[in-house]
Amino acid sequence: MIWDEKIECMSLEDMRELQLKRLQDVVTRAFNEVPYYHKRYTEAEVYPEDIQCLEDIEKLPFTTKTDLRASYPFGLFAVDQKEIVEIHTSSGTTGKPTVSGYTKEDLDTWAEVMARGMTMMGIGEDDIVQNTHGYGLFTGGFGVHYGGQKIGATVIPISTGQTLRQIELMKDFGTTMLIFTPSYGLHIAEELHEMGIKPSDLNLKVIGFGSESWTDEMRQSIEEKFEVPAYNIYGLTEVMGPGVAMECDQQNGLHLYEDHFYPEIIDSKTLKHIPEGQSGELVLTTLTRVGMPIIRFRTHDVTSIKHEKCGCGRTLVKMSKITGRTDDMLKIKGVSVFPSQIEKALLSIKGVEPHYQIILTRPDNLDQIEVKVEASPDIFFDNVKELVGIRDKLAEAIHDEIGLRVNVNLVEPKTIDRVDAGKAVRVIDNRNLK
Amino acid sequence: MEYLKQLSIFLENKEGRMLHTLDIIEELNINIRALSIADTSEFGILRLIVTDPLKVKEELEKKDFIVKLTDVIPVAISDEPGGLNKILRLLSNNNINLEYLYAFVEQQKYDAIVILRLENMDEGLKVLEEGNAELICPDEIYSI
């Protein structure tokens, strides 16, 4: 079934016309209502009337996470704060998060795009959606929630964790759709296996997964363990949240809701457009967002896009699964983490040297972070209690910064590799995500 | 009386680290009088009494070790039941807390020697002196 056939099966020509109209509108609103855009565009000597065709978008400056942070907290709102009915945040590199504000209309749009995707995955008002994404400032939980309610499904807002409880509810409520991050999904699968519960004992029909990097092998493993198809959900807080693009039953790319989010693919070095079908950095523009227009946001996600009529009947542009990042951001347990955040936390403790290494592993399908820190004379004491105290203090500082528990380990000086010319190897990712 | 200088060395709890450290000391032809380890599953502290602590510290630091010199008190005890208890009772009665201790046997002059690290070293030393504990002069230990 197709939720909005008019849009989802629109001809390329009509879509471009709609996009141009909306682009002109959003650039005008941004220029007039948001000092940040007014200043940037004036400096670049580009004005709303310069947008005559879609290609003209290239004249506009990019917006980066740094720009969003500089506008913290409400600097990018295009409406009075009283019009904003909900706020989410994503992690930043300096401790201040980036804020995403939504008006009532924006929440409707969010629900709408999620509804399209969930319909595409084959569910409707008879279904029971168990949403293991966290509810809170993270957009994952609420995005799925709004979409699920929009299509009239029954949503179980259970959030992540309490795996035994999850399983109990899956059985008792007859959950038909499970939403999770791949790593948490595999963890649930393991528990099910240990409890001797077979997929056929459950009522599952479909799985939606997202907010973490994944491989085809991981998807295959999820589908084998749950014996249902699993579809990817893509999104990012800065632009909206989950629901920017979602996979259909063809499982060969994600339909990007281009009537709301205009995609460009650029070469991250030259910052120029690259031909359709080639891999590069995804740049997104919110065409309809009222509360906080985001124009030419550099996602740093690497993908490619292609217009083609899909086997599912939709004409919406398709983007390939994300294959990497153009910066050093890590996704750990679905949370965005920059190594610089960990460094900042470590250096907040007096005497700690900036020699550290982040080691990521995924035992039992759950991400674990170990941070090795070289000991230094200033943090060495002839007392085990004090040494352990330092270690715990470092772990606490990192937790405060990134919101995740890590294992900190003190190691001997000069044991972490230094690279003379380039950057030190700060991250060792042993999670097999590639 | 002066304190005895103990070497406190940061070590990872990893195969071969201890041997590596002791090899360096062996190369200096310096004798180890006593040794004790305090560790967690990942790292720990190697405590050594050697004949020339300054030289060992310098050499280990050249090789990137983290080394601190820690004041400790060597006390001779009689090799008989309750030998150590006398010392500990003396400290306890005077509310001196013990951080750690370890003992070693010395065959020439004393029966056994305990190395004491106290929370309040100066106060503790006074208590031991006034309680007639058999304190050993550091030079004697360095030259054993």
Nearest to A132 by CA among A90, A173, A163: A163
**Min CA distance, B108 vs chain A (Å)?**
30
Cβ of A410 within 8 Å of Cβ of B42? The answer is yes
- Residues in chain B with CB shorter than 8 Å from the CB of A384 are 38-40, 44-45
What is the count of residue pairs from A and B with beta carbons less than 8 Å apart?
50
Count of Cβ atoms closer than 10 Å to residue B42 Cβ:
18
A182-194 helix and A216-226 helix, angle to the nearest 10 degrees: 30
* Residue A434 in domain: no
Closest chain B CA to residue A415 = B64
Q: Which of B10, B37, B116 to mutate to test the interface with A (most CBs of A within 10 A)?
A: B10
d(C-alpha A25, C-alpha A285), whole Å: 12
B65 and B76: one domain? no
Which pLDDT value is given to residue A353?
84
Q: Which of B42, B48, B101, B116 to mutate to test the interface with A (most CBs of A within 10 A)?
A: B42
Q: Read off the amino acid at residue A366.
A: L
Q: What is the CATH number of the domain that holds A233?
A: 3.40.50.12780
By the 8 A CB rule, do A378 and A130 touch? Answer: no
B83-93 helix and B121-130 helix, angle to the nearest 10 degrees: 120
Q: Which residue, A296, A311, A329, sits at the end of a domain? A: A329
By the 8 A CB rule, do A342 and A397 touch? Answer: no
Q: Read off the amino acid at residue B31.
A: N
Residue with tokens 């007859």: A174
Closest chain A CA to residue B14 = A411
B23 and B82: one domain? no
The shortest CB-CB distance from B66 to any of A380, A383, A384 is to A380
CA angle in degrees (0–180, nearest 5) for A68-A69-A73: 90
Cβ of B10 within 8 Å of Cβ of A380? The answer is yes
A340 and A325: one domain? no
Which pLDDT value is given to residue A54?
97
Cβ of A387 within 8 Å of Cβ of B43? The answer is yes
d(C-alpha B62, C-alpha B4), whole Å: 23
By the 8 A CB rule, do A136 and A96 touch? Answer: no
**Min CA distance, B45 vs chain A (Å)?**
7
Q: Read off the amino acid at residue A386.
A: E
User: Number of folded domains in chain A?
Assistant: 2
Q: Which residue, B25, B53, B71, sits at the end of a domain? A: B71
Count of Cβ atoms closer than 10 Å to residue A323 Cβ:
13
- Residues in chain A with CB shorter than 8 Å from the CB of B53 are none
Q: Give the rounded distance of the alpha carbon of B77 from its chain centre.
A: 15
A118 and A189: one domain? yes
Count of Cβ atoms closer than 10 Å to residue A289 Cβ:
26
List Cα–Cα distances, A197 to A193, A233, A417, B130, in angstroms. 6, 27, 46, 73
Average pLDDT over residues B28-47: 94
Q: Residue A413: is the preceding peptide bond cis (ω within 30°)?
A: no
Cβ of A384 within 8 Å of Cβ of B40? The answer is yes
Name residues whose C-beta falls within 8 Å of residue A417's C-beta, 6 or more positions apart in sequence: A357, A424, A425
**Min CA distance, B139 vs chain A (Å)?**
22
Q: Which domain holds residue A291?
A: 5-329
**Min CA distance, A410 vs chain B (Å)?**
7
B66 and B103: one domain? no
Q: What is the pLDDT of residues A70-82, one digit of tens each?
A: 999 999 999 999 9
Phi, psi dihedrals of residue A370, rounded to the nearest 5°: -115, 135
B64 and B78: one domain? no
Q: Which residue, B30, B52, B71, sits at the end of a domain? A: B71
Ranges under pLDDT 50 in chain A = 420-422
d(C-alpha A33, C-alpha A46), whole Å: 16
Cβ of B68 within 8 Å of Cβ of A412? The answer is no
b/e sequence A160-191, b meaning 16+ C-beta within 10 Å = beebeebbebbeeeebbbbbbbbbbbbbbbee
Cβ of A412 within 8 Å of Cβ of B70? The answer is no
Q: Give the rounded distance of the alpha carbon of A341 from its chain centre.
A: 18
Q: Using beta carbons and an 8 Å cutoff, which residues of A are at the interface with B? A: 375-377, 380-384, 387-388, 409-415
Q: Which residue, A277, A296, A329, sits at the end of a domain? A: A329
The shortest CB-CB distance from B10 to any of A409, A412, A414 is to A412
d(C-alpha B33, C-alpha B104), whole Å: 8
The shortest CB-CB distance from A380 to any of B17, B40, B68 is to B68
A291 and A357: one domain? no
B58 and B89: one domain? no
Report the number of secondary-structure helices (H) and strands (E) in chain B.
5, 7
Q: What is the CATH number of the domain that holds B87?
A: 3.30.70.260
A151 and A295: one domain? yes
By the 8 A CB rule, do A303 and A319 touch? Answer: yes
List Cα–Cα distances, B26 to A70, A168, B2, B60, in angstroms. 58, 63, 27, 12
Q: What is the CATH number of the domain that holds B32?
A: 3.30.2130.10
b/e sequence A254-284, b meaning 16+ C-beta within 10 Å = bbbbbbbbbbbbbebeeeebbeeeeebbbbb
A85 and A234: one domain? yes
Nearest to A335 by CA among A97, A76, A62: A97
A73 and A189: one domain? yes
CA angle in degrees (0–180, nearest 5) for A399-A400-A405: 15
Which pLDDT value is given to residue A366?
82
B97 and B134: one domain? yes
Residue with tokens 């099910």: A192
**Min CA distance, A338 vs chain B (Å)?**
26
Provide the pairing of β-strand A177-180 with A128-131: parallel
Q: Which residue, A312, A329, A346, sits at the end of a domain? A: A329
List Cα–Cα distances, A130 to A133, A215, A289, in angstroms. 9, 23, 28
B87 and B59: one domain? no
Nearest to A90 by CA among A404, A294, A332, A335: A335
What is the four-CA torsion angle of A427, A428, A431, A432, rounded to 10 degrees?
A: 110
A272 and A366: one domain? no
Closest chain A CA to residue B40 = A384
A358 and A254: one domain? no
* Residue A45 in domain: yes
Cβ of A410 within 8 Å of Cβ of B117? The answer is no
- Residues in chain A with CB shorter than 8 Å from the CB of B43 are 375, 387, 409-411
What is the four-CA torsion angle of A77, A80, A85, A91, rounded to 10 degrees?
A: 30
d(C-alpha A345, C-alpha A359), whole Å: 16
Which pLDDT value is given to residue A243?
97
Q: What is the CATH number of the domain that holds A419?
A: 3.30.300.30
Q: Alpha helix locations (H) across A83-242?
A: 104-120, 139-150, 163-169, 182-194, 216-226
**Residue A131: HSE in the Cβ half-sphere, 13 Å Cα cutoff:** 25
Which pLDDT value is given to residue A403?
87
Q: Which domain holds residue B18?
A: 4-71
d(C-alpha B71, C-alpha B57), whole Å: 14
Q: Using beta carbons and an 8 Å cutoff, which residues of B are at the interface with A? A: 6, 8, 10-12, 17, 38-40, 42-45, 47, 64-66, 68, 70, 99, 117
User: Number of folded domains in chain B?
Assistant: 2
Name residues whose C-beta falls within 8 Å of residue B23's C-beta, 6 or more positions apart in sequence: none
Beta bridge partners of residue A299, listed in sequence order? none
List Cα–Cα distances, A376 to A1, A269, A410, A413, in angstroms. 62, 38, 9, 7
